[in-house]
Amino acid sequence: MTISRELLDILACPQCKGEIHLRQDGSALNCRACRLAYPVRDGIPVMLIDEADPLSPEDEM
């Protein structure tokens, strides 16, 4: 299951309210400003700050 473009257009980082980007493999939504990755589980973005992981250098590209 993939995330629709319409949903991606309205989602924002819950911490900074900035723009997020879907990883190419679809496994997470990255916030480059906060350097956090929000997981996508079963096609559903988990937009909880406590569930986010720090971005690794290769994910920031």
What is the residue-averaged pLDDT of the chain? 92
| pLDDT band at residue 61 under the 50/70/90 scheme | low
What was the pLDDT predicted at 2?
78
What was the pLDDT predicted at 1?
62
Return the percentage of the chain with pLDDT > 70, whole number. 95
- CB burial string 13-40: b at 16+ within 10 A, e below: beeeeeebebeeeeebbbbeebebbbeb
CATH topology for 5-60? Answer: N-terminal domain of TfIIb (2.20.25)
19-33: per-residue pLDDT in tens? Answer: 999 999 999 999 999
So where are the chain's domains? Answer: 5-60
The whole model's pTM is what? 0.89
